[in-house]
């Protein structure tokens, strides 16, 4: 996996944009970053839901995931890009995206409206019948 491919996969999620986080290339949603390229250029740092998930991944998939002392106790994990399969990358991206995405966007995503989600402003909203005032 190359960083460029990871970015392509990440941009499949709603409202993801490329940016810089801790002076390295990163992906974020509405200004909140969830994955970045590590300074070594060979690993990515993914946000996680919990420290327990970090522990699980680093023990069950040692070939892919690891942490340094800097990330111990923080809900994040490092992934070796060279051995990160596409399916695993998509799963990590989705989890990391969900950790930072605003709740309204998560609801839209969970309701199946996805990337193109949504309605135009006002479209599909319930309106009151003519001549009736709101209570």
Residues of the chain with pLDDT under 70: 113-135
Spatial neighbors of 82 by CB under 8 A, at least 6 apart, are: 1, 42
What is the DSSP secondary structure assignment for residue 28, as one 8-state letter? E
Which residues pair with residue 19 across a beta bridge?
26
pTM reported for the whole predicted model: 0.79
Q: For residues 107 and 89, give the distance between their C-alpha atoms in angstroms, rounded to a whole number.
A: 22
pLDDT at 131: 42
pLDDT at 122: 32
CA 86 and chain centroid, separation: 15
Classify 3-110 by CATH class.
alpha beta
Q: For residues 80 and 64, give the distance between their C-alpha atoms in angstroms, rounded to a whole number.
A: 5
pLDDT at 38: 96
């Amino acid at each position: 996996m190359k960083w460029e491919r990871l970015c392509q996969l990440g941009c499949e999620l709603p409202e993801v944009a490329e940016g810089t986080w801790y002076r390295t290339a990163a992906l974020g949603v509405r200004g909140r970053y969830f994955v970045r390229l590590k300074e070594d250029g060979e690993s990515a740092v993914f946000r996680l839901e919990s420290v327990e998930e970090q522990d699980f991944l680093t023990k069950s998939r040692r070939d892919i995931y690891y942490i340094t002392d800097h990330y111990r106790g923080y809900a994040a994990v490092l992934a070796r890009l060279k051995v990160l399969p596409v399916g695993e990358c998509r799963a990590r991206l989705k989890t990391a995206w969900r950790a930072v995405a605003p709740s309204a966007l998560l609801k839209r995503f969970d309701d199946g409206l996805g990337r193109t989600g949504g309605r135009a402003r006002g479209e599909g909203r319930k309106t009151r019948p003519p001549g009736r005032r709101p209570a």
